[in-house]
Amino acid sequence: MRDAFFQALRELAAHDERVWALTGDLGINLFEPVEDVAPGRVLNVGIAEQALVGMAAGLAYAGKVPFAYSIAPFVTSRPNDQIRVDVAMSAANVKLVGVGGGVAYGCLGPTHHAIEDIALMRSLPNLTVLAPGDPGEALRATRAAFALDGPVYLRLGKNGEPPLLPPDVPFAVGHALSLRQGHDVTLATTGAMLAQTLDAAGRLAAAGVEATVLHYGTIKPFDDYALAASVALTGALVTVEEHSIVGGLGSAAAEALAEEGVPVRLRRIGLRDEFAHAVGSQEHLLRHYGLTAADITAAALDLLELAHLGSLV
């Protein structure tokens, strides 16, 4: 996803002189192609993320379209007050780009994990939150972020995510993608967990369980309608995110269904209200915290067994 973002950023910078790129001492060898087509419009502010966001806001006030890029927690948590005051309150046209969503930075530990970034960003008025699921969608989401007049948080993976979506699927901000239709259970996912969720849907099908798969490339604004329509049919929902279960996709889904009055049996797959202190690769951490396709499959089967027992009472 990271490479796809830089491809899109280079294209945008080459065609529009308003586009600026800012980084907090990150992206060695990645910003050079952008600098080639936009000399003087790439700024490395150093390890000073509050300044990174403040400078991006200033550029936006001057009519530019800045993309402020860093590791996800460093561009959302560390400068949160600057985002709140300088960007969100004024609806400044700043694009915040967080690379390494979830536990993608593996061995670097909880300081580098982004497990509350969605919750932080979706709680701020005026901010749009995008979380593409594969490289092609990351490219399209970057273009969509540029086209929006207002602040955007773009959450990216970084570890060679595979292509999963058809290349001709447009990126429509605020709309979920229905990737598979089934009447037994709904699997709703966001970001780089798309691969594990599609794998789980295949495993469920092999067990005779047909799942609808909804992919949320946009977390905010949230597509209430797509979720409510699917859950009204299936009655069971498993949300899947590389994020805390508090404040992210699972919370957004529960809020939406409660307000729509749609009854549902719900399981949230994500980190359980805890920091990820285990040490290891991203794959190891996904296994350790129960975020694999096998875990999603088991949760769905367990949920359907509970639903069956409930219907007999």
Element holding 140 (H helix, E strand) = helix 135-147
Look up the pTM and report it: 0.95
How confident is the model at residue 28, as a pLDDT?
77
Can you give the pLDDT at residue 203? 96
CATH-assigned architecture of domain 177-312: 3-Layer(aba) Sandwich (3.40)
List the structure tokens of 210.
Answer: 């047909």
Q: What tens digit of pLDDT does each residue of 30-69 get?
A: 999 999 999 999 999 999 999 999 999 999 999 999 999 9
pLDDT digits (tens, 9 = 90+) for 190-224: 999 999 999 999 999 999 999 999 999 999 999 99
Task: Work out the angle at residue 265's Cα, subtended by the Cα atoms of residues 261 and 271, and round it to the nearest 5 degrees.
Answer: 110
AA identity, residue 101: G
Q: Decide if pLDDT at 313 tops 80.
A: no
Q: What is the pLDDT of residues 60-93, one digit of tens each?
A: 999 999 999 999 999 999 999 999 999 999 999 9
User: Is the domain 2-156 a CATH 3.40.50.970 member?
Assistant: yes
Q: 128-130 and 218-220: which strand pairing?
A: antiparallel
What would the DSSP string read from start to end of 169-182?
----TT--EEEE--
Q: What residue ranges do the domains of the chain occupy?
A: 2-156, 177-312
**Are 2-156 and 177-312 the same fold in CATH?**
yes
Q: Which two tokens stand for residue 64?
A: 């530019």
113-151 pLDDT, tens per residue?
A: 999 999 999 999 999 999 999 999 999 999 999 999 999
| CA separation for the pair 224, 260 (Å, rounded) | 8
